[in-house]
Homo-oligomer: A and B are copies of this chain.
């Protein structure tokens, strides 16, 4: 195994998150003789950021469990890993980077370089959030192991937490805090929860369930916090319509309102950036500069369907970009599909939810027909079936399946089947005839996936007449 192309190849990687770590791994696999060096600002090698809420709740026993590739692993793979090391400058012409390791400056030559600098939390403008440039005690973000350790140390049953943002991470945090018997309030400025993942009709049942366990304020934004002795005491939230303000007693304020890309290095180096400051990359994870690759939350790529640029934020996409970057930087050849499907899932408050492709609000004037089916995971006569709702989107002109959402039993695996249909550009007329696996204790003869497609199909036929 391995391609013995170029003993002079020197691959430098900036950042050791899922993107940088995976790129290093695939660069090493592709060229076993190349030098592969990873520079990471922080103190941990590659770990799962998506696992942080579960390490806070204790479902994952120790924070160290999140580390997927240890320093020892990098050693064994003959990948040089420098922790606590900041890359300060990239000279793309002379192919040298300047790094700062514990105050010492170093120069490092490269033949190709991969930026995996990630993103940082986007902090909304809330009055009194900071004191002397630091967030007030009890105001927390969930981005690193250290953030998560700090949150865990603050948790006590009598505490009250407020989560700003009802997206995937906000609600995962709300669920984990609720499990720790904390009183939780969720504040969302949009009229719906999970609006990047599900259409409102799909998220409605989840919202009803969650609101039995935590207080949810939709159409509200946080505008001010009150603190005493440097620690948060309450947060004021305002109704976007009426303007009414409510004070929520709060010991712990979790901010989960999205991220902004960390691209100062890329900008300084001259990489082309998108409208919102992300590094623009192509299907080979290449930036606008030759031999300079970028992957992960600092980048944007094309949406498979709308063909519009989309910021990358899903671990599953980051890793796939990193596979491409690692292989290409090491002299191999690997292209991603012509856009990202954004297949996504989570499990919150007992619901498995999943989706692929844009939500309805992302489409402009496309002629789209949707179909929804609400059924059981098992045949009616078999005890123990669980609810499953599937919604399928079809382009009425092409007949192709373009998007889908699911809530309920095995939602993620059901969405994978629809993601395959989207990737393969399958027509609804063919896909609805897919023989799905059937056995009474496993799945019904006509799965909810099929029946949602039948609904779309009927609507399309009515349109044609």
Contact = CB atoms under 8 A, between A and B. Distances in A.
Interface of A: 1, 18, 48, 50-51, 54, 59-61, 65-66, 68, 168, 314-317, 319-320, 336-337, 340-347, 352, 354, 356, 379-383, 410, 412-417, 419-421, 423-424, 426, 430-431, 433-443, 445-447, 449, 458
Contacts of A60: 381-383, 440
Given A424-B420, A433-B337, A316 B438 contact: yes
29 contacts: A48-B379, A48-B381, A50-B438, A59-B441, A60-B383, A61-B383, A68-B380, A316-B437, A316-B445, A340-B435, A342-B435, A343-B434, A345-B438, A346-B441, A346-B442, A347-B441, A354-B442, A356-B435, A412-B442, A413-B414, A414-B416, A415-B437, A416-B437, A417-B419, A419-B434, A420-B420, A420-B431, A420-B434, A423-B434
Contact of A441 (B54, B343, B424, B438): B54
A50 B346 CA distance: 33
Residue among A343, A382, A441 facing the most chain B CB atoms (10 A cut-off) = A441
Given A51-B379, A168-B439, A416-B447, 10 more contacts: A48-B381, A50-B438, A61-B383, A316-B435, A336-B433, A346-B439, A410-B413, A416-B449, A423-B430, A424-B426
B412 A445 contact: no
Contact of A54 (B341, B414, B440): B440
Contacts of A433: 320, 336-337, 423
A269 to B, nearest CB: 28
A341 B449 CA distance: 17
Contact of A446 (B319, B423, B424, B437): B319
A376 B131 CA distance: 46
A296 to B, nearest CB: 13
B426 A420 contact: yes
Contacts of A443: 345, 412-413
Given A354-B437, A413-B414, A426-B423, A445 B345 contact: no
A150 to B, nearest CB: 20
Contact of A438 (B66, B314, B356): B314
A169 B437 CA distance: 15
Copies in the complex: 2
A381 B52 CA distance: 11
Contacts of A65: 381
Contacts of A449: 416
A433 B434 CA distance: 21
A412 B435 CA distance: 11
A381 B51 contact: yes
A347 B51 contact: no
Contacts of A414: 413, 416
Nearest to A61: B383
A449 B423 CA distance: 15
A56 B345 CA distance: 38
Given A51-B381, A416-B447, A443-B412, A435 B341 contact: yes
Contacts of A354: 437, 442
A179 to B, nearest CB: 12
A320 B437 contact: no
A352 B51 contact: no
A103 B426 CA distance: 52
A374 to B, nearest CB: 18
List the 7 shortest-distance A-B pairs measured between CB atoms, nearest first. A413-B413, A424-B424, A345-B437, A412-B437, A316-B438, A420-B420, A343-B435
Contacts of A66: 381
A264 B149 CA distance: 74
A30 to B, nearest CB: 12
Nearest to A49: B440
Contacts of A412: 436-437, 439, 442-443
Residue among A1, A18, A54, A413 facing the most chain B CB atoms (10 A cut-off) = A413
Given A383-B61, A426-B423, A51 B345 contact: no
Contacts of A416: 413-414, 417, 434, 436-437, 447, 449
Nearest to A66: B381
Contacts of A417: 413, 416-417, 419-420
